[in-house]
Chain A
Amino acid sequence: MIDNISLLTLAPILNVQLILDGLFIGAIFALAAYGLALVWGVMNVKNLAQGEFVIMGGYFAWYMGSLGIHPIFALPVAVIVMFGFGWIVYVVIISRVVGKDMFTSLLATFGLAIVIQQALNLAFGPEVQIAESGFGTGSFFDGNVTIAYIKLVSFAICCLLAILVVLFMKKSRMGQAIRATSQDARAAKVMGIDTEKVYAFTYGLNAAICGAAGVMISMIWVIQPFYGVPHSIRSFVIVVAAGLGNLPGVIAAALGLGVAEQYGGFVFGAELQQATVVGLLLVVLIWRQLQMRRQRQAVQ
């Protein structure tokens, strides 16, 4: 462990590699985390099936890749199909959970997560899969830093999607309705907004965003039916750290998490990369609690 740290100081160029990898992967985390923050903020549902939606999106890319179609074309397919899937899930399950106590939504979506994991496992088998993009790899700084071009492409797509989502939320009528509902669902209802439809749309939008994130994950990283849980935890870390309805915060926290995870994997060894994520979750929760304790004292 000490060796790895001293290696980082001796060869600073390695930091560049770690930071770049972290930023590329963090941009994808930001998408999934934004979806979680959206659902959480609008209908107060903690979606523990977030990571499973991501993995589902990834399997679209992988499946189309195995059919001989370039996986990047899976993006629109995944977005549309996942939107419909999210809508159906909302109508069948989530609509009955909205407004109940918070643990209910957590556990119901956990059950959903188990079902999705196992269905993917039955359909595609437990192997670790990767969607081959066929793009090359470029090396920089005398070959010390290597970047697969697909990571640049996915980073660009992430930025584009983020801009599209923001524009949608700001400009479109539905986006405005979603924001109004999240501010005050009752007032929105009085103003003639069909909140039930808004909720369904929000959940569908969340699933679609996750699906898009999954397409990218399958191209620059790996997917496997049971890899959804770490993604869910990442989304929670990011949202808890950034707070709800704080898009710049979500992006910053996601990029930070991506970088922190790369460093954790490098310093402690790859087998502890997941432990780093979970450890960060605990750190964020404790930090948040200390902050709240100070707040409570201030009130006293």
Chain B
Amino acid sequence: MTFTRIEIVAIAGLLLVGIFGPILFPAYTFQIAVLWLMILFAQTWDAMGGQMGYNSLGNIFFFGVGMYICSVTQIGLFYDVGVYTAAFGADDAKFTDTQYFLGLAAGLLFAGFGSALIAALIGWTVFGLRGPYFAIGTLGIALAAGELLGAWEWVGGGGGIALPVYPGSGDGKSNFFYILCFLSAVATFVFLKWLFSTRFGLAVNAIRDDEDKAEAMGVHTLRHKTVAWSVSAFFLGISGGLFGNMTGFIEPLEVAFPTITFGIFMVAMSLLGGTGTLWGPVLGAILFHVIKETTWTYFLGWQWIALGVIIIVNIVFFQQGIMGWLKEKRPAWFGIEVEEAEVERAS
């Protein structure tokens, strides 16, 4: 892992925002925490869509799966889940401090590994689908999961689950989960940065460029695809568990499997920033989150139309994204040397 000078500046800036953001603007702690999750979403999507060329529309599936695994673990370690969800958290189900933190730690761990395992299991069927079939198939999986969990009474059905209450003050809770969100986003970034600097990254990029040729060159494509998807699923599962606990209440359609909100945001953010790059999703997520919060605040009612228009304009007119555009304009920043004559000919 090597960093260029610009990268170091950007990382320092992000860390400063991450550490001092909630201290300076305590009212926006939740929003900044969601921003970190958005960065995580965009990065995990790009590990699949941008780096490997498998554009999934249903990665949000693992977010929801992680959320449910985490919640069920948190409750199931100490109570009967069916009884708890039937009573809607209203009975005397109390969690002591140790129970809460133990449950949360175990829940997040299970959420990550459980999602990764499920990704590996469904991977061998889903990865036979290519191009648009893969996109539609994954969209179908996410939609089906929402509908099915809505009919499963044991985990609360359409009514959802009220999660254990954080032992402590409201500020304490938001700071606690802020730190966890921040750490998981940083961990995702570092891990993906490392992963795509190894041979694995090269193999995955080869799959994107030409899968059949990669296979002919001896790359075990299915194994690489499954591992990449499991990595995405691992971090998404953890983020799902965190988000569920941050909101304190989960339900299948709007919170756990929000296919047309978060599920599409992660695609839009990666495309906005530039797919297939490490920094593109980060930039895209920050920009998108800021635009989204602004339109949500000032154009209430029109925000969704604005979102759709952003997606269309982005995909139709600005497909290379911010990073692709920068690469064209400032190749030196990416360590690409352009000869003078070439520049003159281009201009």
Q: List A residues at the B interface (Cβ < 8 Å).
A: 46, 93, 96-97, 100-104, 106-108, 110-115, 117-119, 121-122, 229, 233, 236, 240, 269, 271-272, 274-275, 278-279, 281-282, 285-286, 288-290, 292-293
Contacts and interface: CB of A to CB of B under 8 A. Distances in A.
Interface in B135-156: 135-137, 140-141, 143-144, 147-148, 150-151
The residue among A111, A236, A271, A279 with the most chain B CB atoms within 10 A of its own CB is A111
Given A271-B151, A272-B147, A281 B135 contact: no
B311 interface: yes
A117 B304 CA distance: 9
A107 to B, nearest CB: 5
| SS of B interface (majority) | helix
B206 to A, nearest CB: 17
A278 B311 contact: no
B194 interface: no
B271 interface: yes
Interface in B293-330: 301-302, 304-305, 307-312, 315-317, 319
Contacts, number: 111
Given A115-B312, A236-B136, 15 more contacts: A97-B315, A103-B131, A104-B316, A108-B316, A111-B310, A111-B311, A112-B312, A114-B307, A233-B140, A271-B151, A278-B140, A281-B140, A285-B140, A289-B128, A292-B128
Interface in B47-73: 55, 57
B309 A282 contact: no
Contacts of B9: none
A108 B314 CA distance: 9
A122 B143 CA distance: 24
Contacts of A96: 316-317
Contacts of A288: 133
B315 A104 contact: yes
A151 B226 CA distance: 48
Contacts of B141: 282
- Tell me which of A101, A108, A114, A281 has the highest count of chain B C-beta atoms within 10 A of its own C-beta: A114
The 5 closest A-B pairs by CB, nearest first: A111-B311, A114-B308, A115-B308, A275-B147, A289-B128
A260 to B, nearest CB: 15
Contacts of A275: 144, 147-148, 151
A114 B304 contact: yes
Given A275-B144, A275-B147, A286 B125 contact: yes
Contacts of B301: 122
Contact of A108 (B55, B148, B158, B312): B312
B131 A102 contact: yes
Contacts of A113: 308
Contacts of B133: 240, 285, 288
Contacts of B290: none
Contacts of B308: 111-115, 118
B291 interface: no
Interface string B246-279: 0000000000000010001001000100000000
10 contacts: A96-B317, A97-B316, A110-B311, A111-B312, A114-B311, A115-B304, A269-B151, A285-B133, A286-B125, A290-B128
Contacts of B267: 107
B129 interface: yes
Contact of B311 (A107, A122, A229, A279): A107
Q: Name the residue among A46, A107, A269 with the largest chain B CB count within 10 angstroms.
A: A107
A42 to B, nearest CB: 16
B26 interface: no
A108 B271 CA distance: 12
A117 B264 CA distance: 15
Contacts of B307: 114
A95 B57 CA distance: 23
A288 B126 CA distance: 11
